[in-house]
Chain A
């Protein structure tokens, strides 16, 4: 199987409510895929299913051929999937630097005992981690803020930090949950550049959930459209923009609000 991520016939039910129905969905290595749809279509639910926060009621998920069924979230991250959150979830009391290095825990060779004995092996590894974390922050222009408390950063920088933190886990697939929310047009342009940069430099696949169509169209190679938990369209940005079912789903939403 050449696909990096594979969802087959995935269904998610909460009590009587069917949030996702019979979803088939795949992502190839280093591909940039967008996931769009009206509010409540189930986009964040898909994220939560992929990252192990929710267990699907039915269906199979495979990542690099490995089944993600019944795996805990931190195991799934270790396998190579990282994410950001719709409402920023940084580690509020930790510094910018600590937010990043905490995400590197998966790559640690030492554990509790070494943290207590603090021998040369421990110190070397801490130095290595420190170097890697600072280098990563430097790439994204956050190195100077390394010792600031994460929540002291301006909003746009916090969103960027969340992406850096996710990258620190060393993923092959990065899930971005509405990263452009609350940004002004200039910040959005910089975000698009950032996402392109991340994908090229780190050679990873990106799954983007976003409401701003310009960001989606500008960044993604392929777009999947959800409505009421079902996939209603899939294809290139141009094809999607012209797809009548997609237009109706969004217009339908507008009609409701009228």
Chain B
């Protein structure tokens, strides 16, 4: 029984998603919206956690991968829209799935492009470079008329629902958790804890870092696709550095390296965003203070436990 716990958890999660979708008509729209947003944030947080938390590669460009997925999937469904309008429902769903997947794959390709040059960079420099990549993606979109430029894309068919959202969230959690908890996956954590020791123990740190970026970007792309098909309108400004910071706050709050922690933090912060919606001006200030206080008082977040090497890199 214990041997199959991962598979059982996956099945349970998918079943729960189905159940949630089934009772959706009985919930009011507002609640459904918040749930969908929470689910999307869970995917973002869990996928970023693989890169930042488990592998210790601090990425500030996650929004860029989200954008890649959002735009790719939207272009596909928008182009197919006239055809799908008269097609049976299952074909529309299949097309949506294919579009999401394409978005995720393109995003993971972007993840590869970002990961490879970043390999030798140290923590804070890596953060700045990933920020740079995220901004480059945003600027490219902003200056490409075919993608709607600064005006954005609208009229994206609203295919996203609770089943898609929480189904993919379940898969994301399953992938990251089961990966990290295998002998192979412990390699990710060894790269974070001590890269030089990891190399000395036979771990190909390059492969792990790139893998983390690629997998993390894949799910960010899926999240982007879900988001685009949820609010039906996307613009490059929505995928800027501040969006990346949003996800980073979730990962830090939840505890870098704790999958359940960041999932919980994602839900918490989604709720907080809603509560503070009327106080939009104060929302980011609250976030900012949260970040500062967390770093001073409890940098490991709610559930994290890792110990970063406290010495500076240039000390023996």
Contacts and interface: CB of A to CB of B under 8 A. Distances in A.
Check A-B contact in the complex, CB < 8 A: yes
Interface of A: 51-53, 72-74, 77-78, 82-83, 85, 87, 89-94, 98, 101-106, 108, 110-112, 114-116, 118, 122-123, 126, 129, 149, 151, 165-166, 168-169
A124 B182 CA distance: 12
Nearest to B184: A115
Contacts of B199: 52-53, 72-74, 77
A112 B207 CA distance: 11
Contacts of A118: 6-7, 178
B179 interface: yes
Contact of B184 (A90, A92, A108): A108
B120 to A, nearest CB: 12
Nearest to A168: B201
A103 B187 CA distance: 9
Given A73-B199, A74-B203, A92 B307 contact: yes
B309 interface: yes
A92 B306 contact: yes
B249 to A, nearest CB: 21
A87 B197 contact: no
Given A105-B183, A105-B184, A116-B175, A90 B201 contact: no
Given A89-B197, A91-B193, A126 B182 contact: yes
A164 B274 CA distance: 52
A165 B194 CA distance: 14
Contacts of A85: 196-197, 200
B190 interface: yes
A166 B200 CA distance: 8
Given A74-B204, A93-B307, 10 more contacts: A74-B199, A74-B201, A91-B194, A91-B197, A91-B198, A94-B189, A104-B183, A110-B184, A112-B184, A118-B6
B211 interface: yes
Given A115-B178, A116-B179, A89 B184 contact: no
Nearest to A89: B197
B6 A53 contact: no
Contacts of A110: 184
Interface string B150-187: 00000000000000000000000011001100111111
A74 B178 CA distance: 24
Given A101-B186, A115-B184, A123-B3, A89 B194 contact: yes
A247 B161 CA distance: 79
B179 A115 contact: yes
B183 A94 contact: no
Contacts of B203: 74, 102, 105
Given A92-B194, A93-B307, A116-B178, A78 B202 contact: yes
A93 B305 contact: yes
B316 interface: yes
A104 B182 CA distance: 12
B175 A102 contact: no
A93 B197 contact: no
Interface string B1-36: 001001100000000000000000000000000000
Contacts of B184: 105, 108, 110-112, 114-115
Interface in B233-257: 257
A2 B187 CA distance: 35
Contacts of B108: none
7 smallest CB-CB distances across A and B, nearest first, come from A93-B306, A106-B202, A89-B197, A115-B182, A73-B199, A77-B202, A103-B201
Contacts of B189: 91, 93-94, 98, 102
B57 interface: no
B205 interface: yes
A74 B205 contact: yes
Contacts of A78: 202
16 contacts: A53-B200, A72-B199, A74-B200, A77-B202, A85-B196, A89-B197, A91-B194, A92-B307, A93-B193, A102-B203, A103-B202, A104-B183, A105-B186, A105-B201, A105-B202, A118-B178
